[in-house]
Structure 1
Amino acid sequence: MKAFQIPNLLRAATVAAALVLGGAAAQAQPGHGGPGGHHGGPAMMAPGGLFGGHMEHLLDLVNATDSQRSQIEAIFKAARQDLSGQRETGRKLHEQMATLYTATNVDAAAIEAVRVQMSALHETASKRLSQASIDAARVLTPEQRAKIAEIMKKRQARMAARHAG
């Protein structure tokens, strides 16, 4: 079992965030549930530079203004700060789980209790980062979100083609 680490969760979620931004754009298009429609699912961004570089590149592609970049950076800086304390908690839970699995007698109830705690930690991070992604999407124009959706659709098609062959 891999340790729950906020930085890894955030890095992996950069693309998910772009999908949410793109999904929001798709929802804003006629015939897709109207403005503000939502597909659901977690939406998260990565730390490091402005979102690990991936979101910075997307913001470049949609010609985001300095003001938009500053607002989005502040949104995710706040989210990272809100979640910073969870890293140590996740590490301790992982260690606790490993100890439970290596004990002489495997205690199913104790393992389930730790699993529930780990799930709650993941859910908290997911909710906070989803809200940050929603806030960031609202900073961008519908046209910018539509362009991100187009970029992500092409990226998904390339990934699918790689995995199919």
Structure 2
Amino acid sequence: MTAPQFFRRPVMTTPRTPHFFRIALLTAALAVGGVAAQAQPGPRGGPGGPGMMAPGGLFGGHMDHMLDLVNATDSQRSQIDAIFKAARQDLAGQRDTGRKLHEQMATLYTATNVDAAAIESVRAQLSAQHEVASKRMSQASIDAARVLTPEQRAKIAEVMKKRQARMASRQAG
């Protein structure tokens, strides 16, 4: 039995960055930005305040660009690349498991009788899977942040603070 159209992903005709790589970039952005935000004074002179980073994450999917902005060395770039490559390899098996769980969820919702207990069970499995991936990517992000100098992390936080201000002004106007 196949899932109804609204549960299927659209077929992409252009090459896309692998899903876990995008997650890795976002998680790296959050971790590096979080570390940098702690070094920045917040609105009342304390640590970095809430909303320090833009919703798209520190790198916004453009890690090379951000590493260019902070003049990352070739050594730093290769170390960060190796960190996220290892994390992607660690999580490679989860993609198929996640796909199967999503298909199972779609099947449960389209059954003649909706089984709330079964849906909750699959939801819990999906949540646990996301938690494992989040923890792994968070650790990769911490490791990547440690490769950068405090000055580089501060520069990234500064760029993201400006980006956030631009986004906030667009939403307000």
Report the TM-score, using the length of structure 2 for normalisation.
0.75
Whether 1:156 aligns to 2:164 is: yes
Partner of 1:23: 34
Partner of 1:48: none
Partner residue of 1:66 out of 44, 51, 74 = 74
Partner of 1:41: none
Tell me if structure 2 keeps the 8 A contact 1:71–1:139.
yes
Whole-Å separation in 2 of the counterparts to 1:156 and 1:88: 35
The higher radius of gyration belongs to 2
Root-mean-square deviation (CA, aligned residues, Å) is: 2.7
Aligned length: 148
Deviations along 1:95-149, one digit per CA (max 9) or x if unpaired, are 0000000001000000000000000111111000000000000000000000000
Q: Displacement, 1:17?
A: 2.6
Partner of 2:25: 14
Identity %: 80
Q: Which amino acid aligns with 2:28?
A: A
Whole-Å separation in 2 of the counterparts to 1:149 and 1:162: 20
Q: Displacement, 1:26?
A: 2.7
- Change over 3 Å in CA distance of 1:93–1:126 after alignment to 2: same
Partner residue of 1:56 out of 64, 71, 79 = 64
Q: Displacement, 1:10?
A: 4.2
